[in-house]
Structure 1
């Protein structure tokens, strides 16, 4: 009787030649081209902003996340993030958030200077469409007397030397405008401009997504009879934000938030924030 081979005597499987599994030779990674405009730390800033907004639950959170990320990664303390169907509409009457502006500054701007703002001119809108990111200095060739007075008599006395305006084109859904004021420096830095130009391209699909979702939510909530601002307040209240947090997010006073919230409660037939949140989710989910 033949004995079964012991484990030591058992035949071994023949190794498969590596060439059978791997048919391509390893290649070195691509080298950065000479004169690469962005050093690695600027790419980290770019992705830091994107990471702050790509998982936002809705448009208000996207706007607030973008504003906060620009403060954190670029050091901009005075910002506006607005949106509308086009550049002119976003700048003139767009919904959005602001940070770093005093109420006195905004009141003076609205009552005296808005029509003289260089970014409100057709020249600025055309340049924004062409370049995506435009500074005040870029707009100087299109200045008239009103624009020069605006810069010399309004911005400079408030310590504002330059400003960057960025348009994120969301296609059929509209645009998102970002305005960043530069204080303590004579102009917007070239590296900042390079990062902003790269950033706007990556923000475009996100902006289109959130603007489309907001339009759908607005249509779904149309039966509630709320104004645009009342919808924003109701949405933020449904997320659990306090009146103070909503005021900071929308750059309005707490009294204004209370007014919109009271109207939203009355129009939806609800009597508490919890009841309003449930009604809001029922209408928009």
Structure 2
């Protein structure tokens, strides 16, 4: 797991490789890697990547179930920070969110952990299973170990991301617009950016157009020069 992420150069690449490693090595059906200044920011703003979830599932979640997700609540955020790892089956096994949303979509249990790199920010990792009744004690132990070993790597990447965010704030870009602008400036195509961030190509085009307009750039080349400066 650590070998998969320790040589990444930026936060988007770090998130993507961590997500794919969790899917590959542990077979989680869904993974979310999110970040923010605080844990509530990370889980509510959703800045990061998600993998393994169908677009219809994510759309239904956003439209009907997001407010009922226990992992987005203040009390559970505090529990995650205090305990390190929380299983959904331990705190909300019989709720409508589980019985009427997760289980009909093939998800039997979820778990969440957080790497608290304050003052640099936090990294939230959520995983889901569907082929067993609950996330095992072994998997919980792995998440505990992972958060400890990832802490120095996360701190460095969040610090660099904070520097880039300061640039974005100069032009009043949203975090996602800033990410798209940064990747475009690195030479990635719209399709490559979409794949990196797990968003649609049309969404990439919209964010890039906004970034070009806000920075008064007329091309990706100008944008790259400006961000480098």
Normalising by structure 1, report the TM-score: 0.75
Partner residue in 1 for 2:149: 202
Q: Secondary structure at the match of 2:71?
A: helix
Among 176, 183, 203, the alignment partner of 2:130 is 183
Q: Residue 86 of structure 1 corresponds to which residue in structure 2?
A: 38
| Pair 1:159 & 2:106 matched | yes
Aligned to 1:174: 121
Distance in 2 (alpha carbons) for counterparts of 1:257 and 1:99: 17
Unaligned runs of 5+ in 1: 1-48
Aligned partner of 1:148 in structure 2 is 95
1:129 to 73, 81, 86: 81
Where does residue 57 of structure 2 map in the other structure?
105
Structure 2 unaligned spans of 5+: none
Task: Please give the per-residue CA displacement for 1:161-182, whole angstroms capped at 9, x wherever unaligned.
Answer: 0111111111212211111110
In the alignment, the residues of structure 2 paired with residue 79 and residue 104 of structure 1 have an alpha-carbon distance, to the nearest angstrom, of 16
- Note the aligned Cα RMSD (angstroms): 1.8
Max radius of gyration: which structure?
1
The question of 1:271 aligning with 2:218 is answered yes
Counterpart CA distance in 2 for 1:184 and 1:167 is 24
8 Å CA contact retained: 1:221, 1:280: no
The number of residues matched between the two structures is: 229
Quick check: 1:80–1:180 contact (8 Å CA) kept in 2? yes
* Contact residue 168 and residue 174 of structure 2 kept, 8 A: no
How far apart in 2 are the matches of 1:69 and 1:214?
A: 22
Structure 1 segments, 4+ long, off by >6 Å, are: none
Cα distance between partner residues in 1 of 2:128 and 2:46: 18
What displacement does 1:121 show? 2.9
Partner of 1:138: 90
Q: Supply the distance in 2 between the matched residues of 1:122 and 1:224 (Cα, whole angstroms).
A: 31
Note the C-alpha offset of 1:270. Answer: 2.6
TM-score by length of 2: 0.92
Q: Which residue matches 1:212? A: 159
Counterpart Cα distance in 2 of 1:77 and 1:160: 8
